[in-house]
Amino acid sequence: MKINDEHFDRFKKEFNKWFEKFGLYGWHIIFFKKDLGHKGACIVANCEDRIAEVTLNSNLDNDSIEANGGIERTIDIFAFHEADELRHYRIEELVWRRMVAETDIREAIHELIRQDEKLIFK
């Protein structure tokens, strides 16, 4: 299914909703809509510069849309997924480093826990 501007606006709005709920402050987010093949959406982030590029596939698979219960729900799920992935991006980045201090991993995990606290107890 071809994604129109209304779908793309919904994706950005839903991503930003979860971005704020997770407390992901200090990031510069750039949105794109382009063909991603079989992927529904993706995110690429630079933790040092705090820049993330979030892309929604311009052609969503009809089977995926049907499996998720419609286009709106599919877009919402993809937006949540990419926002949640950004929450975990720092841990992934640390894992790819050759030398990681245990304190770095613990700090990154506690960053996620603090975000959960804000989300759950707010």
How far CA 31 is from CA of 52, 57, 110, in Å, comes to 9, 11, 28
**R_g of the chain, CA atoms, integer Å:** 16
pLDDT in tens, 14-40: 999 999 999 898 999 999 999 999 999
Sheet holding 51-57, edge to edge: 28-34, 51-57, 41-46
In angstroms, rounded to a whole number, what is the distance separating the alpha carbons of residues 96 and 47?
12
Quick one: fold of 5-86? Zincin-like (3.30.2010)
pLDDT in tens, 50-78: 999 999 999 999 998 998 899 999 999 99
Residues 6+ apart with CB under 8 A from 92: none
Domain boundaries, the chain: 5-86
In angstroms, rounded to a whole number, what is the distance separating the alpha carbons of residues 89 and 59?
26
